[in-house]
Amino acid sequence: MASAPAPAPADLPPWLQGLNPPQRDAVLTTEGPVLILAGAGTGKTKALTSRLAHIVFSRLAWPSEILAVTFTNRAAREMRHRMEVLVGDLAEGLPFLGTFHSIAARMLRRHAGLVGLDSNFTILDTDDQLRLLKQVVIEAGLDERRWPAKQLAGHIDRWKNRGEIPAEVPPGEAMSFGEGQANGAKLYARYQERLRALNAADFGDLLLHMLTIFTEAPDVLADYQRRFKYIMVDEYQDTNVAQYRWLTLLAGARHNIACVGDDDQSIYSWRGAEVANILRFERDFPGAKVIRLEQNYRSTSHILAAANGLIAHNKGRLGKQLFTAGSAGEKIAVIGVWDGPEEARLIGDHAERRAREGASLNQMAILVRAQFQTRELEDRFIGIGLPYRIVGGFRFYERAEVRDALAYLRLIVSPNDALAFERIVNVPKRGLGDKAMAALHAAARSMDRPLPRAAEAIVETPALSPAARRSLKTLVMDLDRWRALAETTPHPELARIVLEESGYVAMWQADKSAEAQGRLDNLIELTRAMEDYPSLTGFLEHVSLVMDNDASDATEKLTIMTLHAAKGLEFDHVFLAGWEEGVFPSQRALDEGGAKSLEEERRLAYVGITRARRTATITHAANRRVYGQWTAAIPSRFVSELPLDHVEVTSTLSGGPSLWRAALQGEVDPFAHVGRGTGRGPGWERAAGGFGAARNTAPAIDVKASAVSVGLRGRADVKLGARVFHSKFGEGTVIGIEGNKLEIDFPAAGTKRILDSFVEVRP
Ligand code: ATP
Ligand code: MG
């Protein structure tokens, strides 16, 4: 296909308008298996959404008869929203539109009894999972230092991703953890027993249990097969074996399944995803119609060509042609900087400049390879008052204080939740230390009751010391009272009451450490977040399933997220930070050394670049602090794999390319002027050959601040009411202090939150 296909005529129904012929084909082929295999930004998700609208509006099925799987909750939300625009109220409901996890959780609650769970089972997060696994490892008499729970968790995840119950674990793998009777498969079996006893499931269980139910209760499966007239799956290249089996079972005899995917964007093999599922599709669903989309509607031709050039370095791919009718746009900018803080400063400057030129912050994203990269960016943006959001990962809900608060709330909803109980029983300190807990555990075992239930009974006996008994009794009575209160009190209010009455808030108020205030803020933030949910149960379900929590916030913000989390999304302006060997590709991929993991990193780079609609900016630092250690870094090999015609290479290090080159040859020290070490080493030499010397052609960008001025400046000693000066906002008055963050009222710019090291105190 050489030119853009003609758009559909305007008299078509709204969901068919503006689709190209193969997209329309994908929408109108409702019966039988369909596989849409196409590159980034070719309108796969758009076609899938239109197909959903078409089926609903043409009354081929009720919304509740459609199973539509998206990769993230955010994607599900977006699809729901687009559906509403297209078909209005008809889209209401769509109860089975969501992620594999959220749909499987919903199903499992209905059939929990078939796998020995109650319908109100708890979904464990990784932290709880590890705690439990640790107990299993220790109980089995293994040395936890030699056989870490985390490693066992990795094995179990892998087995679950393949849909294997303990009896199905291959013997060779079973022996790769533990010893003899305490081998991996045995521990896995014991872990499953413990989960059942706790009325809990981990993430992997959601699908695994459904697979068990489908095999052992064929009538349940038959019921779903009858119900789901149409099945649709986005980002199909990242399904794992368990998900694939779940889908094929549900597709049953009807075979009305449409999957869309791109083998070049398969980036979750570490979570068990198998690109091979794409290749299997035509075998498992004979007669499948394969549709290819070749026009990219998202990116400029420079961006698309750069991405195509990069991914062409991968060998294991199906290969495809992509073209765009869009403009050439700007070349991809590749910028070398001194270190992480300077990278953050540069990205902040660029983002602000784009914003001044009229771009929306919502249309800008910084994509990072690893979580640790976000902190320097955050610090900088707090410093200059640039609004940002962090998406992906469980950052907020992973914080200790948030998890403590959630444990209290979980106990109110699920009175048998032993893990939650253990987490908070002595937080704040109630004199219920190891000794009391040992007695409590023993009682729970002998009474064969969950821990919280045993606690209710034990306070009536002399098994504990009088003091411990008293304080446990208070906790038990508090919990009862809060449960009663839950019947009548709105849940955010309930949470506030619980946090106060339990003494939890007082504990942090009494804490004099630097981060105590931040923790209290997080608790406030937590109760605020609850307001968006109709019930406490609904909120807790959200917490266990959802990765980002800021959808309701209306202010424009720059997004920071990992490359993995960015899949399927698009932004006008994309910043790709930290393109250095060891960061991206990750050290882990390098250590493993194989072509396979490197190709996956390269696909990740492809995903990153193809998120950009108008501009893509790649940065790499010469020095990087990884977990507190400074290391000299060399540019990522992916930088040198970008086709030269589509990139513009610059460096902010003063002296420009010629000085830089000279330094690489050992003649001068380009860093002498900033008073730091040279940072030269074997890495630099490789940089000369691979990237720096050959390609540093454009003039240096003028960065206003020198690389180190801010970082080296000491902390200001600030008091409330102090007059301070900020280089951008001018003079202001300090109206709040929280650790090293200041709330400052600037007459010219309003109230901002700024790090203390960014202001000067005026006498
Ligand atoms: P990815 O591989 O990144 O998931 P995708 O193939 O799912 O990408 P979409 O997100 O559906 O692509 O579409 C990319 C962009 O192109 C969106 O902004 C979408 O609105 C637009 N688009 C898709 N199809 C068309 C079309 N036929 N005409 C105009 N714009 C289109
Ligand atoms: Mg998509």
pLDDT digits (tens, 9 = 90+) for 152-170: 999 999 999 999 999 999 9
Ligand number nearest CA of 297 is 1
Quote the mean pLDDT of the chain.
83
How much is the pLDDT for 675? 29
Distance 43 CA to ligand 1 centre (A): 3
CATH fourth-level superfamily of 332-384+553-707? P-loop containing nucleotide triphosphate hydrolases (3.40.50.300)
pLDDT-derived band at 301 (thresholds 50, 70, 90) equals: very high
Q: Please state, in angstroms and rounded to a whole number, the distance separating the CA atoms of residues 753 and 761.
A: 15
Ligand number nearest CA of 49 is 1
In ligand 1, which atom is closest to the CA atom of 40?
A: 2
Domains 9-108+209-293 and 332-384+553-707 share a fold: yes
- The dihedrals phi and psi of 645, each to the nearest 5 degrees, come to -65, -15
Degrees, nearest 5: CA angle 117-120-123: 80
Q: Is the pLDDT score of 661 beyond 50?
A: no
In ligand 1, which atom is closest to the CA atom of 49?
A: 11
Contact (Cβ atoms closer than 8 angstroms) between residue 238 and residue 266: yes
Distance 73 CA to ligand 2 centre (A): 14
How much is the pLDDT for 170? 94
How much is the pLDDT for 223? 96
Kindly state if the Cβ of 43 falls inside 6 Å of ligand 1: yes
| The token pair that represents 290 in the structure block | 């394969």
Distance 296 CA to ligand 1 centre (A): 7
Q: Where are the domains of the chain?
A: 9-108+209-293, 122-198, 332-384+553-707, 398-538, 723-762
Kindly state if the Cβ of 5 falls inside 6 Å of ligand 1: no
Model confidence pTM above 0.75: no
> Bridge partners of 293?
38
How much is the pLDDT for 296? 95
Kindly state if the Cβ of 262 falls inside 6 Å of ligand 1: yes
Distance 261 CA to ligand 1 centre (A): 13
Kindly state if the Cβ of 42 falls inside 6 Å of ligand 1: yes
Kindly state if the Cβ of 82 falls inside 6 Å of ligand 1: no
**Run of H or E including 588:** helix 587-592
In ligand 1, which atom is closest to the CA atom of 23?
A: 27
Contact (Cβ atoms closer than 8 angstroms) between residue 720 and residue 735: yes
- The dihedrals phi and psi of 578, each to the nearest 5 degrees, come to 75, 40
Q: Please state, in angstroms and rounded to a whole number, the distance separating the CA atoms of residues 248 and 228.
A: 12
**Cβ-Cβ contacts under 8 Å for 493 (sequence gap 6 or more):** none
Contact (Cβ atoms closer than 8 angstroms) between residue 263 and residue 281: no
For the domain spanning 122-198, the CATH number is 1.10.10.160
CA atoms within 13 A on the CB side of 375: 8
CATH topology of domain 398-538: PCRA; domain 4 (1.10.486)
- Give the 3-state secondary structure of 39-54: CCCCCHHHHHHHHHHH
Kindly state if the Cβ of 597 falls inside 6 Å of ligand 1: no
Q: Which residues are part of the catalytic machinery? A: 44-45, 234-235, 265, 611
| Beta-sheet pairing, 647-651 with 571-576 | unpaired
- The dihedrals phi and psi of 739, each to the nearest 5 degrees, come to 60, -125
Q: What is the arithmetic mean of pLDDT over 59-83?
A: 88
What is the maximum alpha-carbon separation in the chain? 85
In ligand 1, which atom is closest to the CA atom of 293?
A: 6
Ligand number nearest CA of 40 is 1
Kindly state if the Cβ of 19 falls inside 6 Å of ligand 1: yes
How much is the pLDDT for 74? 80
Residue of 36, 42, 46, 267 to test ligand 1 pocket, by largest number of atoms within 8 Å of CB? 46
Degrees, nearest 5: CA angle 429-435-439: 115
CATH fourth-level superfamily of 9-108+209-293? P-loop containing nucleotide triphosphate hydrolases (3.40.50.300)
Distance 297 CA to ligand 1 centre (A): 6
Query: Token pair 């040198």 is at which residue?
Result: 640
**Cβ-Cβ contacts under 8 Å for 300 (sequence gap 6 or more):** 324, 326, 327, 328, 329, 330, 613, 614
Beta strands in 456-515 (DSSP E): none
Kindly state if the Cβ of 363 falls inside 6 Å of ligand 1: no
**Cα dihedral 584→590→591→596 (10° resolution):** 120
Q: Please state, in angstroms and rounded to a whole number, the distance separating the CA atoms of residues 235 and 609.
A: 17
Instruction: Give per-residue pLDDT as tens, 470-524.
Output: 999 999 999 999 999 999 999 999 999 999 999 999 999 888 765 676 678 778 8
Instruction: Give per-residue pLDDT as tens, 385-442.
Output: 788 888 764 456 667 888 899 999 999 999 999 989 999 999 999 999 888 999 999 9
- The dihedrals phi and psi of 185, each to the nearest 5 degrees, come to -65, -40
DSSP at 298: S
**Cβ-Cβ contacts under 8 Å for 188 (sequence gap 6 or more):** 152, 155, 156, 159, 166, 169
CA distances (Å), origin 294, targets 252, 291, 304, 607? 31, 10, 12, 16
Kindly state if the Cβ of 562 falls inside 6 Å of ligand 1: no
Q: Please state, in angstroms and rounded to a whole number, the distance separating the CA atoms of residues 706 and 31.
A: 63
